[in-house]
Amino acid sequence: MARILITTDYRVPGDDVDRLLRDHGHEPVHCPYTGPRAPADRQALFEGVDGAILAAEPVTAEMLTGADRLKVLARSGVGYDSVDVAAAAARGIRVCNAPGTNHHSVAEMAVGLMIMTARHLASVTHAVRHGAWPREPGRELHGAVLGIVGYGPSGRAVARIGAALGMTVLASTTHPDPEDDFVRFTDLDAVLAQADYLSLHARADPARPPLIDTARLHAMKPTAVLVNTARGSLVDEHALAEALREGTIAAAALDVLDHEPLSEHSPLRGMDKVLITSHLAGQTVEARARAGLAAAHAVIDVLDGREPAHPVDR
């Protein structure tokens, strides 16, 4: 019987993932990630387990040194930049993720954030709750230019919703889809210059500086809104705070931050022009169910000697 560590905090004993693993003869071990672990707990996390279904907590090379039985790490989500993939591969540990499980959820959240900023919904609901009755006009998304950076499943889903709302859709990507004739594929400079709403769906690269920096913020319209539901490291948050203070862009809506949760020292804390949510874009009941099962199947496949559906280590 293989022991399978589960750190994803919304997975619980007796749920569908737990039952699936038990049906295949494995023993789930729940140790949910709810925040930074003590150093000793981090070091011992993978001892005595054969596989792991992971939340987005960091997995370092040091944490893997005592993982003598570990054969597979499966993220119950799309992002895997929190895992030291090279260190895992060096120890013969497979690393997998669960792409295509939350793109509808992410796309709906991204467009929802656009609507919230366009209609000032955060400030309006706050004001009404406290006895005011604001009547400031908002803006329609219909007729606006939607710029998308990155055209994977989430970017494509946002493009389709935007087009359905009557937006003009531009996308910057190395993988354009000619079948999506409602999208104009162009370079990043053109997207930055024309977008009324810039939605980020690119992969993060820890070896590179943030994609959205001071220069690129200055390349945007002063009326533009930046939306990030991808990775916090894509945006230079100090540059963004300065751009919002100076009116370089109009607003930002962020579901992801470079350091989470939002630090009391963050330059974005307390700013009226930024809407921040708590990394919720992929957190729907439906997406969680799909991602958890995809991660469980990856663990089962590796332990049974089969190639997993979505390896990120090769």
Tell me which residues are annotated as active site. Answer: 231, 260, 279
CA Rg, the chain, in Å? 21
The Cα–Cα gap between 153 and 86 comes to: 25
Q: Is the dihedral of CA 231, 264, 31, 12 positive or negative?
A: negative
Amino acid found at 121: L
Expressed in angstroms, the distance from the first to the final Cα of the chain is 27
Q: DSSP per residue over 199-268, as a string?
A: EE-PPP-TTS--SB-HHHHHTS-TT-EEEE-S-GGGB-HHHHHHHHHHTSSSEEEES--SSSS--TT-TT
CB atoms within 10 A of CB 143: 11
- Distance separating alpha carbons of residues 112 and 175, to the nearest angstrom: 25
Contact call for residues 160 and 137 (beta carbons, < 8 A):
no
Angstrom distance (rounded) from CA 148 to CA 89: 33
